[in-house]
Amino acid sequence: MQQPRRVALVHEWLTSMRGGERVLESLGAMFPGADLFTLLHIKGSVSGKIEAMPIRTSFIQHLPLASTRYRYYLPLFPTAIRRFDLREYDLVISSHHSVAKSVRTGPRTLHLCYCHTPMRYIWNLFDDYFGEGRSGAVTRAGARLFRGYLQRQDLASAGNPAAFVANSEHIRSRIRKIYNRDAEVIYPPVEVKSFSLATGSGEYYLVAGALVPYKRVDLAIRVFNGTGDPLVVAGDGPDRERLQSIAGPNISFQQDLSDQEMKTLFAGCRALIFPGEEDFGIIPVEAMASGKPVVAYGKGGALETVRDGETGILFAEQTEDSLSAAVRRLCETVFDPVLLREHAMRFDRSVFEDRMSAFVRRHWEEWVRTGLSREGGSFAQLPDSGFR
């Protein structure tokens, strides 16, 4: 079977290491030598494995204050991503949560999309990002002005990929609802084996991740303001100043943490508090890999990672009463750290790479077999490709 000679990966921006970047890192390992296209790259902000890839950026890279205010250029993203010309590539894999699937490809190119979510801030979470008290008046007005345009662009490119992968059943249903496309579910990679199993009871509760409105860190802060129990908020983002302004003295904030520092925080916590509706949620799996239970809002990806009463506690409503009751229930429940870690192994990076490799192989072989690639094209063997 012919193999793809030229492979391109497309990722919206490289500004930090989060779940999407972990997926990208694994894709880079599966396809060494692949070119990486991104709107913006802040050097040193992602892992060395990603930094070592051939990275090509868009004109967004050169706009004023792009490194810190790139989100303000959102209306330009569809144009910027389409300026990449990937027609000469045999295989393109887009890592999509904003505009990556809009990239231009040719009739001989197989385009597969790993979808973290349809663009949440123009669809289901618009008010969480741009509602009253969430952003300034000018930003809100701009968001309302461009929302329709961005929705049309998002829908227009829904037919670009030959096939979608969703990072959870939750996102699969959202892809079906918004794009009218089906998707195969492949959970994102978690480096479960790199976490040490901690058996201590823990000294504090932990919230971790990007500090953005939909994560609902404010809910956790209000609850722990009331209980007085120590809470550590680990992460950074545009919501940090607002959150710090409402936090009591028992709540501390930490940012710019290394991977090892995050692992130490997981090991020392009583439990992870996860109050937002997440597309999948790698952080709860990392907590369970450390032998720690999770208190999570029972909607979205948490329903696929947290087993109520076994690996954590689910709460039904994003209210202080509901979260407070869940924390009390946590304190009354005994969790087995070994069982927690065994559950987390279902989401290990090796599982992702095996399943993703099989998915790409299956679609590539069908692509070649049905003659959709250009006749007479040259497809040399890609060394150490993901086709295992």
The domains of the chain are located at 7-189+348-369, 192-346
The distance from CA 118 to its chain's CA centroid, rounded to whole angstroms, is: 11
Q: List the chain residues with pLDDT less than 50.
A: 373-385
What CATH number belongs to 7-189+348-369?
3.40.50.2000
Q: What is the edge-to-edge ordering of all strands in the sheet holding 183-185?
A: 55-57, 35-41, 7-14, 91-96, 110-115, 163-166, 183-185
pLDDT score of 384: 45
Tell me whether strands 294-297 and 110-115 are parallel, antiparallel or unpaired: unpaired
For CA atoms 115, 121, 122, 124, give the dihedral sign.
positive
pLDDT score of 375: 46
| Cβ–Cβ < 8 Å for 229, 205 | yes
Fold of 192-346: Rossmann fold (3.40.50)
pLDDT score of 17: 87
